[in-house]
Amino acid sequence: MADSAQVPTLVYLVTGGCGFLGEHIVRMLLEREPRLRELRVFDLHLSSWLEELKTEGAGPVQVTAIQGDVTQAHEVAAAMAGSHVVIHTAGLVDVFGKASPKTIHKVNVQGTRNVIDACVQTGTRFLVYTSSMEVVGPNTKGHPFYRGNEDTPYEAVHRHPYPCSKALAEQLVLEANGRKVNGGLPLVTCALRPTGIYGEGHQVMRDFYHQGLRFGGRLFRAVPASVEHGRVYVGNVAWMHVLVAQELEQRAALMGGQVYFCYDKSPYKSYEDFNMEFLNPCGIRLIGTHPLLPYWLLALLAALNALLQWLLRPLVLYTPLLNPYTLAVANTTFTVSTNKAQRHFGYKPLFSWEESRARTIHWVQTMEGSAR
Ligand SMILES: NC(=O)c1ccc[n+]([C@@H]2O[C@H](COP(=O)([O-])OP(=O)(O)OC[C@H]3O[C@@H](n4cnc5c(N)ncnc54)[C@H](O)[C@@H]3O)[C@@H](O)[C@H]2O)c1
Ligand SMILES: CC(C)CCC[C@@H](C)[C@H]1CC[C@H]2[C@@H]3[C@H](O)C=C4C[C@@H](O)CC[C@]4(C)[C@H]3CC[C@]12C
């Protein structure tokens, strides 16, 4: 990337730019990448805020909305032609059985292969991939990963289609580092592994909030408070993506082919206790200091849900929050403690915990159908 502090020259492409994380990345790039000339937002479904951004919020940057499908190689290549950096965040995030394993594989693995091939074909040299903590774990054996880092040994065993697909896609991205792109220069790739992302726009938080409202302002504890679940604020995840994209050229030898957990100062808590940091100030209480139902009963209910999903599939899509996989993830300690991103590219969280919390609470309070 040419050093062009005065004249913006860079063209970025963000796949999945209309999603929860994608929107934050798009807005962060517009705020924090002064070298940006054009920002291409590629997504299967284009959002209405993009139109507003194009007319009002983008300043001198040209924002180009591209409705497209990452599973279609020609669409990806056409969108990518002439871009310098790709942030590939599009993905099918499904742990509830909404999509078939085949579709998850197609979008997450074949889609990523198409992005890599398009880089090679069009001469795009820098690729940042949104991976996931799930590439590591929790594993199917329920082993805890307690404040581990990128080098912590852990038996990564995947069976669920989502983590399987993310692990395969990440591997493709890392293996592609150094591949020659059109023009003869090497591709530089990097993968970011967020833990559970929270913040403005988080669908699962929205679901828990509405469930709490339906139960008269109450949620019932299902996971022991002692199980730690890693969480990271969406603004900090977006900032990490932008920083990696900015630093990849200068630090290609160090950063190329590397993985980084996404982290910030969010506290270590159980999944439910963490959610209560936001839902409590919005009028929702978590009932019980211990899970109200014993684990064996929850496991039975989860298995029953899985059976019902299978039986009902020909008639209706039954996708409850509780299934054997979500129960296992929520009940297994998985937290991260690392400074690799700081050492390699100077990352520091842009948002403090207090700010992340305040922004998320404000979003819940102003959500459609909220109690206020
Ligand atoms: N949400 C989390 O907690 C979390 C944690 C770790 C990693 N991730 C990863 O972050 C990325 C973004 O996740 P998110 O939570 O913002 O999900 P999201 O569903 O809100 O966003 C994904 C976006 O990708 C788009 N997309 C899906 N299929 C597509 C296709 N075939 N072609 C083009 N676009 C397509 C969707 O329309 C959507 O806008 C994913 O790759 C996910 O695996 C998410
Ligand atoms: C016992 C149940 C009632 C609790 C249900 C909570 C469950 C829906 C939550 C718990 C943990 C959540 C996952 C976790 O934060 C990390 C990720 C990684 C990311 O790549 C995709 C989302 C995912 C799987 C979260 C999904 C929702 C989970 C399972």
Answer whether 238 contacts ligand 2 (Cβ < 6 A). Answer: no
**CA–CA dist 203, 211 (Å, integer):** 12
What secondary structure letter does DSSP report for 138? S
Residues 255-314 pLDDT 10s: 999 999 999 999 999 999 999 999 999 999 999 999 999 999 999 999 999 999 999 999
pLDDT of res. 368: 73
Q: Is 53 in the pocket of ligand 1 (CB under 6 A)?
A: no
Residue 295 CA to ligand 1 center (angstroms) comes to 31
Atom of ligand 1 nearest to the CA of 18: 39
pTM of the model: 0.96
Nearest CA among 152, 143, 341 for reference residue 255: 341
d(CA 173, CA 160): 20
Average pLDDT over residues 182-187: 97
What's the pLDDT band for 354 if we cut at 50, 70, 90?
very high
The alpha carbon of 47 is separated from its chain's Cα centroid by a whole number of angstroms, namely 18
Counting from 1 in the atom list of ligand 1, the atom nearest the Cα of 111 is 31
196 lines ligand 2 (CB under 6 A): yes
Rounded distance, CA 66 to CA 43, Å? 7
Q: Are 140 and 328 in contact (CB under 8 A)?
A: yes
Ligand 2, pocket-test mutation among 329, 334, 335, most atoms within 8 A of CB: 329
pLDDT digits (tens, 9 = 90+) for 126-141: 999 999 999 998 988 8
Ligand 1 near 20 CB (within 6 A):
yes
Query: What is the bridge-based pairing of β-strands 188-194 and 258-262?
Result: parallel
Q: 219 and 211 in contact (C-beta within 8 Å)?
A: yes
The Cα–Cα gap between 291 and 220 comes to 8
What's the rounded Cα separation, in Å, for the pair 52 and 332?
Answer: 42
Phi and psi torsions of 47, nearest 5°: -95, 160
Strands (E) located in the chain: 10-15, 36-43, 62-67, 85-88, 126-130, 145-148, 188-194, 196-198, 218-220, 231-233, 258-262, 285-287, 334-336
Residue with tokens 């506290």: 267
Per-residue pLDDT tens for 81-129?
999 999 999 999 999 999 999 999 999 999 999 999 999 999 999 999 9
What is the mean predicted confidence (pLDDT) over 60-84?
Answer: 97
Please give the distance, rounded to the nearest whole angstrom, from the Cα atom of residue 302 to the centre of ligand 2: 14
Q: Which two tokens stand for residue 238?
A: 């977006």
Question: What helix, strand, coil percent values describe the chain, rounded to 5?
Answer: 40, 15, 40
Mean pLDDT of 63-73: 97
Q: Inform me whether the pLDDT recorded for 2 exceeds 60.
A: no
The catalytic residue positions are 162
Pairwise CA distance, residues 154 & 3, whole Å? 40
Task: State the ipTM, two decimals.
Answer: 0.97
State residue 4's pLDDT score. 46
Cis peptide before 349 (omega within 30 of 0): no
What pLDDT sits at residue 146? 96
Q: Is the CB of 329 under 6 A from ligand 1?
A: no
Q: Give the number of whichever ligand sits closest to the CA of residue 131.
A: 1
Kindly report, residue by residue over 195-237, the tens digit of the pLDDT: 999 999 999 999 999 999 999 999 999 999 999 999 999 999 9
State the pLDDT at residue 369. Answer: 72
pLDDT, position 240: 98
Which of 41, 91, 84, 49 is closest to 70 using CA atoms?
Answer: 91
Q: Provide, rounded to the nearest whole percent, the portion of the chain with pLDDT above 70.
A: 97
Per-residue b or e along 84-111, where b marks 16 or more CB atoms closer than 10 Å to that residue's CB: bbbbbbbbbbbbbbebeeeebbbbbbbb
> Using one digit for the tens of pLDDT, what is the confidence trace for 3-62?
545 677 999 999 999 999 999 999 999 999 999 999 999 999 999 999 888 777 668 899
